[in-house]
């Protein structure tokens, strides 16, 4: 016998979770960068803060038009 038609499951909960996870990561990265800047300013008042090294990338990286900052 043929099964009766059932609507497919909704993707709304999955999309909601993905959007929330993405924005949680964005907010976490912004907080981490701000804490890095504040710590650097405390140790080197009046100096320009160098770019923060990527947290989860251990390969080679460079900055176009600038020097690679040394992570101390």
Rounded distance between C-alpha atoms, residue 29 and residue 26, angstroms: 5
pLDDT tens across 36-60, in order? 999 999 999 988 888 777 777 777 6
Average pLDDT, the chain: 83
Q: What's the pLDDT at 70? A: 60
Q: What's the pLDDT at 68? A: 58
Nearest to 54 by CA among 71, 34, 39: 71
Query: Mean per-residue pLDDT for 2-13?
Result: 88
The lowest-confidence range among 14-18, 41-45, 61-65 is 61-65
Whether pLDDT at 14 is above 90: yes
By three-state DSSP, how is residue 35 classified?
helix
């Amino acid at each position: 016998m043929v099964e009766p038609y059932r609507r497919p499951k909704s993707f709304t909960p999955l999309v909601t979770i993905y959007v929330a996870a993405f924005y949680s990561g964005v907010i976490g990265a912004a907080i981490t960068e701000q804490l890095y800047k504040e710590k650097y300013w405390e140790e080197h008042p009046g100096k320009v803060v160098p770019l923060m090294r990527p947290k989860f990338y251990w390969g080679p990286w460079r900055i176009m038009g600038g020097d690679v900052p040394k992570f101390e």
